[in-house]
């Protein structure tokens, strides 16, 4: 199985800050990485697919990059509504696997 490791597990930042979340795959996952945002009590929402493609309707302050084993989700200017837990997921190989999540809070 491909293990996905996210860091940090949580972070606290101010409104307007640039925030960077990382995800490392235990094996080459090419570009087959997706990022999700989950708010309490809600289903996850797709933000980024195939490492760097912004899902329709997602604000442009979200961006993704990386390939192979190292991936990044960046929020260029953190907004109060971005408070959530963020998950990466690989689908290069079965079983598809998720990272353990990064919880983002406002300072």
CA 26 remoteness from chain centre: 16
Decide if residue 13 touches other proteins (CB under 8 A).
no
Asked whether position 45 contacts other proteins by CB under 8 A, the answer is yes
Binds other proteins by CB under 8 A, chosen from 13, 46, 54, 83: 46
Of residues 21, 29, 34, 71, which one binds other proteins by CB under 8 A?
Answer: 34
Length, in residues, of the chain: 107
- 49 interacts with other proteins by CB under 8 A: yes
Does residue 44 interact with other proteins by CB under 8 A?
A: yes
- Among 10, 34, 3, 15, which residue's Cα sits nearest to residue 77? 15
Residue partners of 67: CB distance under 8 A and separation at least 6: 30, 31, 51
Closer of 13 and 54 to other proteins (Cβ): 54
Cβ within 8 Å of residue 106, ≥6 positions away: 12, 13, 14, 15, 78, 80, 83
What does the binding site for other proteins look like in residue numbers (CB under 8 A)?
1, 32, 34, 36, 38, 43-46, 49-50, 55, 87, 89, 91, 94-101
């Amino acid at each position: 199985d491909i293990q996905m490791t996210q860091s940090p597990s949580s972070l606290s930042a101010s409104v307007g800050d640039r925030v960077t979340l990382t995800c490392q795959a235990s094996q080459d996952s090419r570009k087959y990485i997706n990022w999700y945002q989950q708010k309490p009590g809600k289903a996850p929402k797709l933000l980024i697919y195939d490492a760097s493609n912004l899902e329709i309707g997602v604000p442009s302050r979200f961006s993704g990059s990386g390939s192979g084993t190292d991936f990044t989700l960046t929020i260029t200017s953190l907004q109060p509504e971005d408070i959530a837990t963020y998950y990466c997921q690989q689908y290069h190989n079965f079983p598809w696997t998720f990272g353990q999540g990064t919880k983002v809070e406002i300072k």
